[in-house]
Amino acid sequence: MQLFVGLGNPGAKYAKNRHNIGFMVLDEIASDHGFTPWKTQFQGQVAAGTLGSEKVLLLKPSTFMNLSGQSVGEAMRFFKMAPEDVTVFHDELDLAPSKVRVKMSGGHAGHNGLRSIHQHIGEHYQRVRLGIGHPGHKDRVSGYVLSDFAKAEAGWLDDVKRGCADGAVELAKGDGGRFLNAVSLRTAPARSSKTAKAVETKKPEKPEDTVADTRSALQKLADRFKQ
């Protein structure tokens, strides 16, 4: 069994915050892949299902972001999981909006949710880093992550959620590359042939579309004086 964890804060007040993008992605995965209804367990909300041939438990900690590790640790102990069985979906300030990256192990980079998980299970778990961009100054970070996504961001946010759900089976298989390909097909789709033609510059007229001037030089000169 694998444990997919989405990070965020519980309650309607925080539901649309940038900090809650991990919750949003798990909701999309649960919906798209027919997971069980969410229920309260392990100090969080859980849903069970399968991704391909892999049994997966989805977990949204209800402990608030800074104590996420309590919920993750409890679920892991119950199912006797190793840290390598855990994948955490979280907001990432150091990635531009709509960018997604997969990383195994490493530091928490000041992310309070990851910091708490480190304290409870160590650092040897997989992360799916969901880019939300940076407000430009560290003093603005707290207000930025705890504010809602702007209406103008709805398009790319939906693409990221759907892309993660599309690639969830590959992620459960351990193929991070194919997972990211699935995300890219949503966030940066290849242009269709129709689109490519639409942006081409206008082609010059074909020779057959113009009438050849067969006048002699003397005739051209005479015609100029007639005008």
Give catalytic residues, as residue numbers: 19
Contacts of 98 (CB under 8 A, 6+ apart): 131, 156, 157, 159, 160, 187
CA dist., res. 212 & res. 10, Å (int): 76
102 with 30: CB under 8 angstroms? no
Task: Count Cβ atoms below 10 Å from residue 163 Cβ, excluding itself.
Answer: 24
User: In DSSP terms, which residues pair with 57 in a beta bridge?
Assistant: 3, 48
98 with 20: CB under 8 angstroms? no
Alpha-carbon separation of residue 57 from 122, 144, 227 (angstroms): 20, 30, 86
Task: Count Cβ atoms below 10 Å from residue 200 Cβ, excluding itself.
Answer: 7
